[in-house]
Structure 1
Amino acid sequence: MLASKEMMKFKSYQNRANLFVKEYLLADPLIPYTSIIGGIFACKMVYDLTQLFSTVHFKSYSSLTRIQRVEWNNRSMSTIHAIFITTMSLYLVFCSNLYSDNQSSELITFRSSSSSTFALGVSVGYFIADLGMIFWFFPSLGGYEYVIHHLLSLVAVAFSMLSGEGQLYTYMVLISETTTPGINLRWYLDAAGMKKSKAYLINGVVIFIAWLVGQVIAV
């Protein structure tokens, strides 16, 4: 009897949580803002977890300079974002019915959904967080070319998110993020003193193949 009551309470709390997420956090007018905030907090969480994990499990991490450790943690943010946005891009462009010819009579350039807008919002949150770190540690994490790249990306993705226009083409461009994890791994191998290893060589080949595939898909 007691277990049954506890189960009913749990389901009640679960229903309230689901209602809160659906009616507030994922309500259409709030999706851009909640997703941006979520993206920023996710970056902070990944940064802190990377620092904690690397301190314990990677001996080379403690031998790095302060700026190198910051970049090490920062690149983990970049990697997680790249995996997330590439996965969402591939799903929305090729697997979902959002941009299917038979799905809607609406022009494909004006199609959007809650999930497509949310994913772009998370990406905007990442660009804001990363741009903030670039400014804070300037020019250690990147020079003016990084600033220009991030500003242009931020404006383009934010416009597509807020207006709902051109999201298909935005996602097709974001598929090119497939190369980012490999590029970051290359930096990690270099920082760990493994530049002459087979892993470093294989990594270079994989980056080239990923870049080639990404360009073909985008075209």
Structure 2
Amino acid sequence: MQVSKTSFMAMKSYTYQAELLLRDYLLADPCVIYTSVLCGIVMCKMAYDLTQLISSLYFKAYTSLTKVQRIEWSNRGMSTAHAVFITIMSSYLVFFSDLYSDRLDGFVTFRSSNLSIFALGVSAGYFICDLAMILWLYPSLGGMEYIIHHLLSLIAVSYAMLSGEGQLYTFMVLLSETTTPGINLRWFLDNAGMKRSKAYLINGIGMFAAWLVARILLFVYLFYHVYLHHDHIKKMQTFGYILVFIVPLVLGIMNTMWFAKILKGLRKTLAKRQ
């Protein structure tokens, strides 16, 4: 009982210190932008190194990969970590928080908080790291479509973070990162020689469903929301106003093209299994 009480008090003390660190430093008004971007870069480095370490110890297929393939393997671990983080944050801020609720007075396009700025800063840090890796190893980690995707995402995220405008629509677009873990898992299974496994088929079906919801239907809802709140959007600065329409439109077209490829691949996989 004494040990349990001591452990509980120690855990409570650590929790309190973590809350103080979060409130007084990471989410403090003067520091939140800089610390959040730095946290995003550090998170990428940690996720990359951990993926590399764990894979070399527990996955035999990893050691047989080429140098470029091992870099991409670890890079996908990094993108998965970001996807999990930003999906949780975006889901909370868009669907569960009252920050962007229509029940509140004022323009929805001008609402922000230290938490929303922090989440965008972490995401900006990730896009900086990933874009740098794509350019450094071009075209091994992706072609021009990946560069366009990351540049648009980085510009939109940075603008929303620095100006405080249009954050709701930025988080709606970032919710599309929900599909990233499934895409990466498919690549892992493929390179591990498990293309004919049941896990590969289940992953393909799950990826199709997630893409349909997060990158097709959600974008349709985003444009509908923009239509309903156009009077709010008109109050934004010209650059922000353009971003609200251009970024989702371009990414929506790219998502539709990739969705067609996913559907084609799923059909081919199902045909082979039959």
1:62 paired residue number: 63
Going from structure 1 to structure 2, the CA distance change for 1:192 and 1:14 (only over 3 Å counts) comes to closer
Partner amino acid, structure 1, of 2:92:
Y
2:91 paired residue number: 90
Matches within 5 A, 1:58-207: 58-102=59-103, 104-207=104-207
1:50 paired residue number: 51
Cα distance, 1:122 vs structure 2: 0.4
1:82-118 deviations in Å (ceiling 9; x for gaps): 111111111111111111222x312001111111110
Cα distance, 1:191 vs structure 2: 0.5
Going from structure 1 to structure 2, the CA distance change for 1:105 and 1:40 (only over 3 Å counts) comes to same
Partner amino acid, structure 2, of 1:66:
K
Cα distance, 1:178 vs structure 2: 1.3
* Superposition RMSD in Å: 2.2
The normalised TM-score by structure 2 is 0.72
Going from structure 1 to structure 2, the CA distance change for 1:187 and 1:17 (only over 3 Å counts) comes to closer
Q: Which runs of 5+ in 2 are unaligned?
A: 1-11, 222-274
Please say if residues 27 and 115 of structure 2, whose CA atoms lie closer than 8 Å, have aligned partners that are also in contact.
no
The normalised TM-score by structure 1 is 0.89
Counting matched residue pairs gives 211
Partner amino acid, structure 2, of 1:29:
P
Greater shift after overlay, 138-147 or 68-77?
A: 138-147
Mapped partners of 1:127, 1:148: distance in 2: 12
Going from structure 1 to structure 2, the CA distance change for 1:200 and 1:167 (only over 3 Å counts) comes to same
Going from structure 1 to structure 2, the CA distance change for 1:190 and 1:162 (only over 3 Å counts) comes to same
Mapped partners of 1:209, 1:143: distance in 2: 25
Going from structure 1 to structure 2, the CA distance change for 1:208 and 1:32 (only over 3 Å counts) comes to same
Mapped partners of 1:112, 1:37: distance in 2: 20
1:143-177 deviations in Å (ceiling 9; x for gaps): 22211211111001100111111010111111111
Cα distance, 1:21 vs structure 2: 4.3
Greater shift after overlay, 160-169 or 24-33?
A: 24-33
Higher relative contact order (CA 8 A, sep 6+): 1
Cα distance, 1:182 vs structure 2: 0.6
Going from structure 1 to structure 2, the CA distance change for 1:67 and 1:162 (only over 3 Å counts) comes to same
Mapped partners of 2:13, 2:55: distance in 1: 40
